[in-house]
Amino acid sequence: MPMGRQFVLTNLVRSAALAGAISAPLIVIASAAEPTKRSPHPNRDLVGHGGPVRAIAADAKTGRVLTGSFDYTMMLWRFADDGAAKTVNRFDDHNTAVSAVAFHPDGKRALSASDDGLLNLWNLASGKKLHLFKGHQARILGLAIDGSGHWAATASWDRTVRLWDLETLKPAGVLKAHTGPVNAVAFSADASLVVSAGYDGTIRLWDRASGKHLRAAYKHGWGINVLTRLGPTDQFAFGALDGTTAIFDLAKNKIIRKLGSHDKPVLSLAVLDRAGLLATGGGDGQIHVYRQGDWVELESYSNPNGPVWAMAFVDGGARLYFGGLDDQVTAWQVAPRQRFEPAPSTFPRRFQIDDSVASLGKRQFARKCSVCHTLTLDDANRAGPTLYRIFGRRAGSVQGYPYSAALKSSDVVWTPKTLGKLFELGPHRYTPGSKMPLQRITDASKRQALIRFLKSATAEK
């Protein structure tokens, strides 16, 4: 929609499928039947984002959790003595979806990476942005910090890995050898090597100091989506587009264990070294928890409304947080298991709607606008501001919303004519410099149906 920071979920799914990060069938288009409701949110769920959650990281020392969402924000959470989740800070100075987050080892700083290829360094206590690292030309999906906190590495769909010096705040190298989008990156135990994986199906090794490409250590044949190092070893778990999860040993230069496979792509991994746990999450909504060493599967969980895009262990492995298409992060009690585990979602979600909905305009709004915008006065922390009373409103004028400078200075007033032009030409032409991604509705009948729906739905009640 026409105001502020927006992404279109269907476009994200389509483009992500090209790079193996997610696959288009993961978005299940539901009918207009009455949504299936979940039980009331447990107080341990992380409720506060306004869009699907793409990234989760936990700090084992303090028990805090970071989350990144398609709503263009990172959030910091802590837990009260009774386990209830509390919001500590909300970091909303992003121009696109937040795709990766990480705590710095000092516990005072954090990194967030986003779909515009930018890497942000934050002060967790104040919420202040300390530095903005630029260089990537496409979205960042992989993010790693070495154990000393000196180096960070990012993996991008521009087919490169970039290194960053977190002490000098300077770029530290561009690593080029992948022949497709790079989805994941990690450091060796001593940080002398960088390990990367991507859509070309390879795990590659690099000398961190020189940036030299050493070799393709493993060729899987299918795109690799996620990769993480296991504890102080140089063993790496990875998950692939074909549902494979395996353990690669760097010293032996071979796969030492293949774990149970998912029915759809593996999208997330979570490691808890102290407890020796590894969890895998997939597009099939399944989570499997393994014990490191003998690789016995300890527990499994099924989210019927999948996928599982991000995970992190907390409480010494007693709980695992996972995120996907829902606006909240769900707490799963791994041990001891609960006897009854309700589905963690409201389904169908607001953007999941099929042609059985009579109104063409309502269908267009649900599919193209509802992920980022509300129709009521409350913006519900969505990526874009509310569309309530949009007609007759000047672009960039909703109080308190962090618009781009271009939209703030725009003289556009939203009318049926200007909205029609926005979707006919696309925001890159009609509102150049705004934070809106490329989006067009080329079918004039669909544009007009959407505008008619908005005129009715956004009017003051």
Specify if 38 maps to a domain: no
Residues 239 and 369 occupy one common structural domain: no
Go through 224-247 and write b for each residue having 16 or more CB atoms within 10 A of its CB, e for each that does not: bbbbbbbeeebbbbbbbbbbbbbb
| pLDDT for res 358 | 63
* 26 & 175 share domain: no
Q: Do 428 and 291 sit in the same domain of this protein? A: no
pLDDT at 1: 45
* CB atoms closer than 10 angstroms to residue 336: 7
**Span 324-343, pLDDT tens digits:** 988 889 999 998 887 767 66
Average pLDDT, the chain: 86
Do 109 and 220 lie in one domain? The reply is yes
Question: Among candidates 324, 236, 243, which has minimal Cα distance to 288?
Answer: 243
C-alpha to C-alpha distance for 52 and 54, rounded to whole angstroms: 6
pTM over 0.75, yes/no: yes
Considering the domain architecture, whether residues 408 and 308 belong to the same structural domain is answered as no
Q: 266 and 166 share a domain?
A: yes
For residue 2, being part of any structural domain is answered with no
325 and 360 share a domain? no
DSSP state letter for 403: -
147: containing domain = 53-333
User: Domain holding 388: CATH number?
Assistant: 1.10.760.10
Return the C-alpha torsion angle 320, 325, 328, 333, nearest 10. -20
What is the pLDDT at residue 433? 72
Give CA–CA dist 27/319, Å, rounded: 26
Residue 340 lies in a domain: no
Query: What is the distance between the alpha carbons of residues 386 and 142, in angstroms, rounded to a whole number?
Result: 31
In a domain, 59, yes or no: yes
Question: Which residue, of 304, 333, 362, is where some domain finishes?
Answer: 333
Which has the higher per-residue pLDDT, 213 or 451?
A: 213
- CA distance readout (Å), 458 to 421, 427, 454: 19, 21, 6
Among 99, 108, 31, which Cα is nearest to 76's? 108
The greatest distance separating any two alpha carbons of the chain, rounded to the nearest whole angstrom, comes to 68
Q: Of 175, 189, 103, which Cα lies nearest the Cα of 143?
A: 103
CB 10 within 8 A of CB 372: no
Confidence of residue 42 (pLDDT cuts 50, 70, 90): low
pLDDT band at 206 (very low <50, low <70, confident <90, very high): very high
Residue 96 lies in a domain: yes
* Token pair listed for 363: 């269908």
Q: Which residue has the higher pLDDT, 209 or 31?
A: 209
Top pLDDT among 450 and 358 is at: 450
For residue 252, name the pLDDT band (cuts at 50, 70, 90): very high
- Comparing 3-12, 129-138, 197-206, which segment has the lowest mean pLDDT? 3-12
Q: Are residues 179 and 97 in the same domain?
A: yes
- 286 and 402 housed in the same domain: no
Q: Measure the CA–CA gap between 15 and 21, rounded to whole angstroms.
A: 9
Q: What CATH code is carried by the domain that includes residue 156? A: 2.130.10.10
Most confident of 29-43, 261-275, 390-404: 261-275
Residues facing 319 on adjacent strands: 314, 333
| pLDDT score at 367 | 75
Residue 259 falls within a domain, yes or no? Answer: yes
Question: Is 398 a domain residue?
Answer: yes
Cα distance between residue 311 and residue 58, in whole Å: 9
Give me the sign of the Cα torsion angle 25, 27, 30, 34: positive
Of 333, 362, 396, which one is at a domain's C-terminal end?
333
Is there a single domain that holds both residue 131 and residue 104?
A: yes
Distance CA 434, CA 261 (A): 42
**39 inside domain:** no
How many domains in the chain?
A: 2
C-alpha 8/C-alpha 10 separation (Å) is 6
Q: What is the pLDDT of residue 352?
A: 67
DSSP state letter for 181: -
Phi, psi of 110, rounded to the nearest 5 degrees = -150, 160
* pLDDT per residue as tens digits for the range 125-161: 999 999 999 999 999 999 999 999 999 999 999 999 9
Single out the residue in 302, 333, 364 at which a domain terminates: 333
14 and 64 co-located in one domain? no
Q: What is the average per-residue pLDDT within 20-26?
A: 34
Regarding whether 266 and 126 lie in a shared domain, the answer is yes
